[in-house]
Amino acid sequence: MGTAIAQYPYGITSHSFVKFGHKLEISSSNCHYKVDISRFNLYPSSVSTTDSKVCVGRIRALPDIGDIFSDIIATPLLDVVENPIHLKNLTIKELKLLASEIRSELSSIMSKAQKDFKASLAAVELTVAIHHVFHAPVDKILWDVGEQTYAHKILTGRRSLMRTLRQKDGLSGFTSRSESEYDPFGAGHGCNSISAGLGMAVARDIKGKRERIVTVIGNGTTMAGQVYEAMGNAGYLDSNMIVILNDSRHSLHPKIEEGSKTSINALSSTLSKLQSSKSFRRLREVAKGVTKRIGMYELAAKVDEYARGMMGPLGSTLFEELGLYYIGPVDGHNIEDLVCVLQEVSTLESMGPVLIHVITEENQCAEHKQQTEATGNQQGGYAVLSNMHTQTYSDCFVEALIMEAEKDKDIVVVHAGKEMEPSFQLFQERFPHRFFYVGMAEQHAVTFSAGLSCGGLKPFCIIPSAFLQRAYDQVVHDVDQQRIPVRFVITSAGLVGPDGPTMCGAFDITFMSCLPNMIVMAPSDEDQLVDMVATAAHINDRPVCFRYPRGAIAGTDHYTRSGIPVELLIPIASIRLERD
């Protein structure tokens, strides 16, 4: 059995027992690696020494057999990072290299697993900078959505288990308190991190502690009202916390996406550093005190708001109105700028809530985008349609709904949730003016559908089962109690496999069946689903809902047919018991 020796310019030498007969040399503009490999063993053993006082060991990842003889990606710096403390003494140059290695590893793992990883790729530099500046798990770092946390999982001791992501007995696809001490709060359906972070900040203040609270939110979650409720309360309570808006420039409106975008240049970078500096904040506080004494505070506040609005991007003053001190925009792929701003903010005392606006690009690396498309990557748990696409219940539903919509011009669709299934794009393309996608705004979707119905239309409100839970108050008060005929289409019902308990849709039958005016239906096969679509389209005196699971249909010879309305004799559909 031979040895592999890797040398690189960080005062670190790694020895591994391997079993190949090759010599590998890797060069780059920044560093030179030399690896001698004579033989290969599945279970590497390593001894590492460093110039720093921190003891660094190598993560022992046990890859799948199929991956061992495929691409071998050199990650010498990442190999000696077991937890965030190992990032503290790294230089900016080394942090950049570490981010590059994390991005390469994520691309390799996630593309083979056919999982959505673009959001995590975009947040790599941000994640590295956060863990370099803050001291988790003492400092609390909260994430809004699981898809941005894969780099966070790698840096917090879970690298060896990344290939088990979303698998039985493997890593959760979200942050989990039971999985790691570095996950202080579970990231579920989004928009909860600011509320939870504010609660932790207030608890810290009451107990007289000093840990810092950092919450990371994304574009998708800013469509949910809870985010703004939490921001308003944070501004009122004035507790010290840091909110990072990871702006990947997504928008529900194509016209906005095609228009001008927030620019990142030398001026914006300088202004962001100035806004986060201690001297500027202290000068601003002194100016506030002086203007209050001489009775010109309101005028000075208007001038300050106007000046900051002129310097900042469109919409930046909204956060100021909610009581958060706005800093940005900051280039989310420039580690030097990120570290500088985060270090300045982290050292401020009695700063109150701060929002740092970070601009990232999910498609920054073209090769990652192409790799994602080539592997038929999943988007939010839904399989991307391909030539080998298996017919799903959603496909059958959309086909049936299109037939009904062609016959009835009053039928419209309101879709809410984290991601839109590819199946629904067919209806959107066929009837673009009768399709409304509202994103993660389920409460709005329900009441909006009620308004459409009051206006004489026939709305089909499509919401995944787990997300409908957040809109239950609107279902009860705005729809059922008023007997407004809204047709709820509950997707991803029942168990959802790799998405686990966070996305589990096991409760909808119970909480919808207890409503006095709601008709509840559940098909046993695709033919019943088609008939239920036609039935829902003909019910005009009360709300109705029907649910169907994620995944392939039961039959193999499915063909498109028109649905036949079912005569309902009782408010709740009869239960059919079947035995094998």
Sequence ranges of the domains in the chain: 1-79, 90-359, 393-549
As to burial, measured by CB atoms within 10 angstroms (0-12 exposed, 13-18 middle, 19+ buried), residue 64 is exposed
Dist CA 82 CA 479 (whole Å): 52
Largest CA distance in the chain: 84
**Are 231 and 224 contacting, i.e. CB atoms less than 8 angstroms apart?**
no
Q: What is the signed CA dihedral for 329, 333, 335, 341, rounded to 10 degrees?
A: 10
CB 100: neighbour CB atoms within 10 A? 18
HEC-encoded secondary structure of 404-455: HHHHCCCEEEEEECCCCCCCHHHHHHHCHHHEEEEECCHHHHHHHHHHHHHC
Cβ contact 194:217 at 8 Å: yes
> Tokens at residue 447, please?
């009441």
Q: What is the pLDDT of residue 427?
A: 92
Cα 30 to the center of its chain, rounded Å: 33
Strands 2-8 and 32-37: antiparallel
**274-291 residues labelled b (16+ CB within 10 A) or e (exposed):** ebbbeeebeeeeeeeeeb
Q: Are strands 48-49 and 12-18 parallel, antiparallel or unpaired?
A: antiparallel
Contacts of 253 (CB under 8 A, 6+ apart): none
Cβ pair 189, 144 in contact under 8 A: no
Give the whole-angstrom CA distance, residue 380 versus residue 23: 41
CATH number of 393-549: 3.40.50.970
Single-letter code of the amino acid located at 166: R
- The token pair at 59 is 């993560």
Beta strand extents in 292-343 (DSSP E only)? 325-331
Q: Are strands 325-331 and 241-247 parallel, antiparallel or unpaired?
A: unpaired
Give the pLDDT score at 22: 40
Give every CB contact of residue 388 below 8 A, 6+ residues apart in sequence: none
Question: 258 to each of 222, 236, 361, 438, 495, how far by Cα in Å?
Answer: 20, 36, 15, 19, 38
SS percent in the chain: helix, strand, coil, step 5: 45, 15, 40
**Could you identify the residue written with the tokens 């460093």?**
50
Q: What is the pLDDT of residue 392?
A: 87
Q: 10 Å Cβ neighbour count for 11?
A: 10
Nearest one of 114, 119, 123, 51 to 86, comparing CA atoms: 51
What six digits make up the tokens of 491?
A: 């997707």
pLDDT tens per residue across span 121-153:
889 999 999 999 999 999 999 998 888 899 999
CATH 3.40.30.10 fits 90-359, yes or no: no
Bridge pairing between strands 519-521 and 325-331: unpaired
Q: Which residues contact 185 (CB under 8 A, 6 or more apart)?
A: 140, 142, 175, 177, 192, 193, 196, 197, 200
pLDDT value for 570: 44
pLDDT of residue 71: 55
Residue 402 CB-half CA count within 13 A: 18
Fold match, 90-359 / 393-549: yes
β partners of residue 525: none
DSSP 8: E
From 390, 389, 413, select the one nearest 491 (Cα to Cα): 413
- Is residue 400 a contact partner of residue 425, using CB atoms and an 8 Å limit? no
Tell me the C-alpha distance between 231 and 547, whole Å.
Answer: 35
Low-confidence ranges of the chain (pLDDT < 50): 1-70, 252-260, 366-387, 569-575, 577-580
144 Cβ neighbours under 8 A, 6+ residues apart: 187, 190, 191, 192, 193, 215, 216, 217, 218, 221
**Cα 457 to Cα 449: distance, rounded to the nearest angstrom:** 9
CB atoms within 10 A of CB 165: 20
CA atoms within 13 A on the CB side of 423: 23
- How far is the first Cα of the chain from the last one, in angstroms, to the nearest whole number? 56
pLDDT score of 155: 95
Contacts with 488 (C-beta within 8 Å, 6 or more apart), sequence order: 461, 463, 468, 475, 512, 543, 544, 545, 546
For 201, residues 6+ apart whose C-beta sits below 8 A from its C-beta are 213, 234, 239, 240, 241
Q: For the residues of 70-122, what is the DSSP string, one character each?
A: S-----TTGGG--SGGGGTT--HHHHHHHHHHHHHHHHHHHHHHT---HHHHH
Angstrom distance (rounded) from CA 126 to CA 5: 31
